[in-house]
Chains A and B, each alone.
Chain A
Amino acid sequence: MALFEVKNLTFGYPLSGPVIDGVSFTVEQGDFIAVCGPTGSGKTTLLRLLKPELSPLGNKSGEVLFEGVKTEDLTPAQSSLIGFVGQSPEHQIVTDKVWHEVVFGMENLRFPQNLMKRRAAEIMSYFGIDTLFDKNTADLSGGQKQMISLAGVLVMNPKVLILDEPTSQLDPVSASEFLTTLKKLNDELGLTIIITEHRLENVIPLCNKLCIVENGRITAFGETRRTVAEIAGNERIAASMPGSVRIYGILGAKGECPLNIAEGKRYFSEHFRRNSTPFKEEKAPSGEKAVELKNVYFRYEKSAPDVLHNTSLTVYKNEILCVLGANGSGKTSLLCTIAGLTAPYSGSVEILGKNIRKYKGQSLYNNCISLLPQDAQTVFLHNTLEEEFMKAGITFEDAPYDLSYAAKNHPYDLSGGEQQLAAIALVLASKPQILLLDEPTKGLDSLAKQKVRDALKALKRQGLTVIVVTHDVEFAALCADRAAMFFRGECVCVDTPYKFFSQNIFYTTSTARITSGVCENLINPDDVRRYAEVEK
């Protein structure tokens, strides 16, 4: 018997048309299914309809059967066999201690004491997080929080695990660690997994089935390699696919589709014929300096280690500089130092040729510098976007993109990408010359990322200097004038993107990894498109 059987499911929220429109599919025991599709296509609603406690209220027709039983009729014990992990590591933690979080579900199901203790011990040993047992949940990193949430679900011994963008708020290292754990659960325990994910390059090599959702309908569903090949021509969906799949599509989609870098490399060397030698003469930005840091040292506390250690960096006017680096390498502290929120204990910071200490009062933040922190929601104060814009003294025409369609919405009801764009528009209200952004693409899908990219380029044309801190190498490769790498509080290298990414071996884009050794200077799928000779 199939684990899940969804028959002709249609669902609509009150006051809106159908969000899910006549969807049918089955999930077999042991499947690892990735559900993908653009934001607003109904992925999350679809997943929630599979878990009775989280099913939204609205008009529903058709049915969802779990092991032959309608989800509405499941007992709490049966329903606990469907595990659910959401996207926000910060907010799905319920209790203050890790051990309590892990046993929380078992307490609800009233497991015997011994069993609770045993399961908690088992799962924490299996994940290798036993040292966290009596820590406060507040002291954990995002990746650890997500692991604890996963552990808290697994202790109830679910048959199927549903995950709604579980890694969207994590840095790349924790994200791939989390996904590897899922693969391990699937391989070693035969756990069925259904996951939605933006970062498809990590998921596609792991899953055995792929489900494409567009406008509330399933447009493709089936074995991964076949489904990927099927949609290689669909630009809207393919844009979010891993580099190897995109290159496969660009090179004519012949033969078997490569799913990972190794397969992609082989495919590329076999099928790529260049029409000309890719040569990109890049003009390194120069001229007037917008920001100059000289031998800056910073630490949070007297006895803590240095966060910025002998950092020197020059940012020129009217460039987009992307700062890359691992967690804790000092990227965010760099932004805070430039924005004057933290003061270095040694070294000098010059903003527009003037020492930052000479900006008295709030003058640094008027027509000079603006910072948008990692969480765009920290900017929203009012009930509608319209009110937000009005109180900030700007209009919808001022922004380099259109948001007026969402004027009446509450900022929290916007999608992640819209929130980011709205926040950038608000940050621009003080007419800054230098814009600082911290992880602007976190949790965004490829379409939203493209919008952010276009927005940044439009701002550059208006004469702004933009400094972006990001983990997202693909994003940096597409929009940076220069990219900088931070390591242990120090700027290790700064270079133009083509030099930076084609000379990096490990920390580079998937296109660069696939093409290196065969053809240099290709760092984006678009470069491949430009220089490839496609046989018609």
Chain B
Amino acid sequence: MSSFQLFNPAAVFIFFACVLVSGIFTMNPVITVISLAGAILFFFVLPGQKNNRIHICTVLMTLACMVFNPVFGHNGATVIAVINNHNVTVEAGLYGIFLGLMLSAAVYWFASFSQIMTSDKIIYILGFLSQKAALVLTMALRFIPAYIRKAKQINDSQKALGLYKDETIISRLKGGARVFSILLTYMIEKTIITSDSMSARGYGGGRRRSFSLYPFGKRDVIFLTVSLVFTACTVYASSKGALFYNFYPFADTPATDFTALTGYTGYGLLCLSPSVIEGGNRIRWRYLRSKISHSDIRFPVR
């Protein structure tokens, strides 16, 4: 289990928002590289099932950006070739790589995000904004598996009734529409039972008090404060213009003055913090678990 399961989802959500917003909307290759490094590190540190196709995906995406950007964009001063009267420039290629890396970073962050923020946590966060919306979300999530199962049943029964006349596409399309139509009747009629069950338990559209499985503890306060301070550093540097970077006509050298360094450091620590927390907790857990095995003997043998 990830130690992020133990944090309040709101804190985790704000953390991800900070990383993504300040990472994606800052036009600076250093920030992008930091973001990508932090994202990949966290992706591997986070326990659980990993989808390894994601790496192929990001590499292809970066290559595609690198190739296509110079084809369409012809800004930049360092021309390396001319195709169809259009300049192909080094700067456009660099911008493409930068763009690809930024998108890759977002992909990795979102992969971790989806793994940690399970549906009930998204519902919890939405509940702050609107209880009614959160209720719609939880009900929809409850209906989806039921409808999928029902659709399969309906399809089977239609098949066994001999209603699919032949195996052509038209017959199948009609069959699909029939299944949908039956499912629609079923769904509409049954929503009445669900809403009765809600009314019977006192739901009247008024304000409710959401039951929360997630307390907001000291740990969350610290995590949130630290994240916000690091983000503030980045945003400060960004607003001072220290992180501003130009690709055209010549690619700049990234700024290295004090303000810029503050920004880099802040963002670097922000991106590193989840991996540190996760890694630290894992070491702590290993230590704690090592103590468990000693008390394994339950019945003293005489």
Contact = CB atoms under 8 A, between A and B. Distances in A.
Verify whether A and B have any Cβ pair under 8 Å: yes
A95 B149 CA distance: 17
A91 B211 contact: no
A299 to B, nearest CB: 17
Given A91-B193, A108-B201, A96 B141 contact: yes
Contact of B193 (A79, A86, A136, A381): A86
A50 to B, nearest CB: 11
Interface in A95-115: 95-97, 99-100, 103-113
A377 B186 contact: yes
B211 A106 contact: yes
Contact of B201 (A90, A156, A341): A156
Given A54-B200, A92-B194, A430-B162, A110 B185 contact: no
B202 A105 contact: yes
Interface in B180-212: 181-182, 185-186, 189-190, 193-194, 196-204, 206-212
A97 B138 contact: yes
Interface residues of B, number: 49
A379 B196 contact: no
A365 B161 contact: yes
A116 B196 contact: no
Given A111-B209, A426-B161, A152 B178 contact: no
A100 B160 CA distance: 38
B201 A430 contact: no
Interface string B73-92: 00000000000000000000
Given A54-B200, A380-B182, A91 B161 contact: no
B41 interface: no
Contacts of B190: 88, 90-91
A392 B206 CA distance: 47
Contacts of B182: 378-381
Interface in B128-184: 138-139, 141-142, 145-146, 149-150, 153-154, 156-162, 164-167, 178, 181-182
Nearest to A117: B211
A156 B34 CA distance: 52
A100 B211 contact: yes
Nearest to B207: A110
A361 B138 CA distance: 41
B119 interface: yes
A94 interface: yes
B165 A79 contact: no
B141 A113 contact: no
Given A116-B211, A365-B161, A109 B202 contact: yes
Contact of A95 (B139, B165, B200): B139
A371 B160 contact: yes
Contact of A53 (B139, B154, B161, B199): B199
B213 interface: yes
A211 to B, nearest CB: 21
B55 to A, nearest CB: 27
Contacts of A93: 142, 194, 197
B225 to A, nearest CB: 24
B211 A152 contact: no
A80 to B, nearest CB: 5
Nearest to A375: B153
A365 B159 contact: yes
Nearest to A391: B163
B211 A103 contact: yes
Contact of B157 (A79, A137, A371): A371
B161 A86 contact: no
A373 interface: yes
Interface of A: 51, 53-54, 76, 79-80, 83-84, 86, 88, 90-97, 99-100, 103-113, 116-117, 120, 136-138, 149, 152-153, 156, 336, 339-341, 361-362, 365-366, 369-373, 375, 377-381, 412, 426-427, 429-430, 436
Interface of B: 119-120, 138-139, 141-142, 145-146, 149-150, 153-154, 156-162, 164-167, 178, 181-182, 185-186, 189-190, 193-194, 196-204, 206-213
19 contacts: A51-B200, A54-B200, A91-B197, A92-B193, A92-B197, A94-B142, A94-B194, A96-B141, A112-B209, A113-B209, A113-B211, A365-B159, A366-B162, A371-B156, A377-B186, A378-B154, A379-B161, A380-B182, A430-B161
Given A79-B202, A80-B202, A373-B156, 12 more contacts: A54-B200, A80-B201, A86-B197, A93-B142, A108-B204, A108-B206, A116-B211, A341-B159, A365-B159, A373-B160, A380-B182, A436-B160
